[in-house]
Amino acid sequence: MPYTYTTPKWDYNPQTRRREKIGVEERTVEAASMFDVNKAIMQAAEFAATHERMCADCYKATRLNAA
């Protein structure tokens, strides 16, 4: 069962060099399966673990250099 939502539609104005809102558009997205949900959770957990490891390595490096 597809999911639909509305989002602002933007267009670039070369005179002002900015994006301007020109209206609203409706978009459709396919429904997510349990496989998609589990894959996203696993990717987030892997990213968090990797990020935590990098922070621990940086902390150790600063502690070793400070002595």
Q: What is the pLDDT of residues 2-57, one digit of tens each?
A: 899 999 999 999 999 999 999 999 999 999 999 999 999 999 999 988 888 888 88
Q: Break the chain into its structural domains and give their ranges.
A: 1-31, 32-67
Per the listing, tokens 């400070």 go with 66
- pLDDT of 58: 78
How many Cβ atoms sit within 10 Å of the Cβ of residue 10?
13
Threshold 0.95, pTM exceeds: no
To 5 degrees, how large is the angle CA 49–CA 51–CA 52? 65
DSSP letter at 49 equals H
